[in-house]
Amino acid sequence: MRRNLTVRGETFPLATPFRISRGVKTVAEVVTVTISEGDMVGRGECVPYPRYGESVAGSVAEIEAVREAIETGVSRRGLLEILPAGAARNAVDCALWDLELRLAGSDIATALGMDRPLRPVATAMTVGLDTPDNMALAARALADVPLIKVKVDRNDPVAQLRAVRAFAPAPRLIVDPNESWTIAEVEAMQGLAAELRIDLLEQPLPAYEDAELNGFRSVIPIAADESIHVAADLDGLPDGYSVVNIKLDKAGGLTAALALAEAARARGLGIMTGCMICSSLSIAPAWAIAADSVFVDLDGPLWLSADRDGGVTGDHGYLLPARPGFWGGV
């Protein structure tokens, strides 16, 4: 039976601005894909990221270019051959997962041998980049959550981090400079990282300066984010990284993300699951990676003024699964 594809851009306003070293977001811009076969409909979502040269219009065009293959039944494995890793492939891959599971009368937990029902996960709650005083206020509101992610830049990370830790002494901390530091700054922050009990430093250097982490032994784990997209990237990853941040939008879907997770674990690397600022339709598929990750950073939908009906919800730093049937089969 021939399938029917629809693809469109959507915008979700944020409740508050989201600031990182590269800029400020006030809306989440996503691409939504639906693939139907008979009465069954599968859905997927992606967040095109300008850091990788992506846009909503560009991702829609990528998908439209392979419409015939999708509508005539390309498999998820076949999709890997006709679309590159990235946001566009992610939306289609996740829609195919959803459709396949619904056609089979199954669900993602059964297909992947996950716990049923899906368990809540502790997710990083983000303190966005701001003045130290404002970051302290944000941290105080999160003082009882299990994990905080702190966005910093080069301007005054010491003051920013001290402010957060002073008002949130208990949570584990992830520090994310979003590629804005130098290797000298990473070295200079080692003592503070130990003092403030920071648990993870995420992608401190620009990806093109990764080689400077070869042979570097940090006092805390360093996670690769922009430096790792798919399993093939592991061969060139510097040994200064001990954790990889898997995002479905980078990997190009759940199919490739699962392969990356398996290959990373085989090399002894820890797994982090991340996301863009998105709706719950991006988060539900990522649960398959998050359920067995050392660090989870899936608070993207919690920044929205309004999410999709039936999506994930937050509860004091824990993310509760979407309503059964929201995504991933029956």
Domains and CATH numbers, the chain: 4-110 (3.30.390.10), 112-320 (3.20.20.120)
Residue 275 has pLDDT above 80, yes or no: yes
Token pair of 188, please? 């200079």
Residue 212 has pLDDT above 80, yes or no: yes
Owner of token pair 């430093």: 201
Give backbone dihedrals phi and psi of 127, rounded to 5 degrees, phi first: -100, 110
Residue 20 has pLDDT above 90, yes or no: no
- Radius of gyration for the chain, computed over Cα atoms and rounded to the nearest angstrom: 19
Residue type, 32: T
Residue 1: what pLDDT?
83
Helix (H) or strand (E) holding 165: helix 157-167
Q: How many residues does the chain have?
A: 330
Token pair of 275, please? 């996301």
Give backbone dihedrals phi and psi of 222, rounded to 5 degrees, phi first: -115, 130
The DSSP bridge pattern shows strands 147-151 and 125-127 to be parallel
Residue 124: what pLDDT?
98
pLDDT digits (tens, 9 = 90+) for 287-304: 999 999 999 999 999 999
Token pair of 126, please? 């983000």
Residue 24: what pLDDT?
84
For the annotated catalytic residues, the residue numbers are 151, 247
Taking Cα atoms as reference points, which of 85, 89, 83, 104 lies closest to residue 37?
104
266 confidence band (pLDDT: 50, 70, 90): very high
Residue 261 has pLDDT above 80, yes or no: yes
Token pair of 37, please? 């076969």
Token pair of 34, please? 């639906």
Residue 22 has pLDDT above 80, yes or no: no
Give backbone dihedrals phi and psi of 129, rounded to 5 degrees, phi first: -65, 130
Residue 241 has pLDDT above 80, yes or no: yes
Which letter does DSSP use for residue 315 in this model?
A: E
pLDDT digits (tens, 9 = 90+) for 74-129: 999 999 999 999 999 999 999 999 999 999 999 999 999 998 889 999 999 999 99
The angle formed by the CA atoms of residues 320, 135 and 52, to the nearest 5 degrees, is: 70
